[in-house]
Every structure is written in C-alpha cells, then in structure tokens.
Amino acid sequence: MAVPLTYYLALSAALFAIGVIGVLIRRNVIVVFMCIELMLNSVNLTLVAFSAFLGDIAGQALVFFVMAVAAAEAAVGLAIVIALYRNKQTVNFDDINILKW
C-alpha cells in the first residue's frame, strides 16, 4: 500500500499553519525568520509531492529555484538583522515600528 498524495498535502498544510502561527506569536526576528523558512519548506514538500505523483519534473525544478532564493534571502535577511541590531540594539519584533514613518 502506498502513501496517497493527500497525506503529503495534509502534512504540508499542517507545517504551513505552524509556520504562520510561529510568525505571529514569536518576537525574536531570527525565529520569525526561521518560521518563514518552515513555510517555504512546506510549500516545497507540496511541489515535490505533486511532481512525483504527476511525473512532471517542473515541480522539482521549481523547488531547486526556491532553495536558491531562500539562500539569497537568508543572506540578505540576516545581514538586515545584523544592521538592525547595530542601530537599535534589539531584534525584538515588538520594538521595531519604524515603518510608521
């Protein structure tokens, strides 16, 4: 007996929702950042699952690019965190409201 596609999708949905909740309840910017990585990975899982079940390589190729973008995002995002910490002495989400201006 094989594992049906729905199982993979359900797992993916669960991981995505956890990631969303994590983004909303955590205040450490780096943890928020990790939650976003989790959400990206849940989507990757969906793509790989569809790719395998449909026999289409496009899904896996897209995952490859998502990984590359995630790497780029990680580099720039963490650099921003460092710059922010240097200026504000904090990485607390709740203390950063400079978007108001």
Radius of gyration of the chain from its Cα atoms, rounded to whole angstroms: 17
By the rule CB under 8 A, 67 interacts with other proteins? yes
Query: Alpha-carbon distance 15 to 96, whole Å?
Result: 27
Bridge partners, residue 28, by sequence: 92
Instruction: Supply the minimum distance, in Å, between the C-beta of residue 71 and other proteins.
Output: 6
Per rule CB under 8 A, count of chain residues that contact other proteins: 79
> Going residue by residue from 29 to 58, which x/- string records binding to other proteins, judged by CB under 8 A?
-xx-xxx-xx--x--xx--xx-xxxxxxx-
Query: Alpha-carbon distance 1 to 4, whole Å?
Result: 9
Per CB under 8 A, which of residues 72..101 are in contact with other proteins? 72-76, 78-83, 85-86, 91-94, 96-101
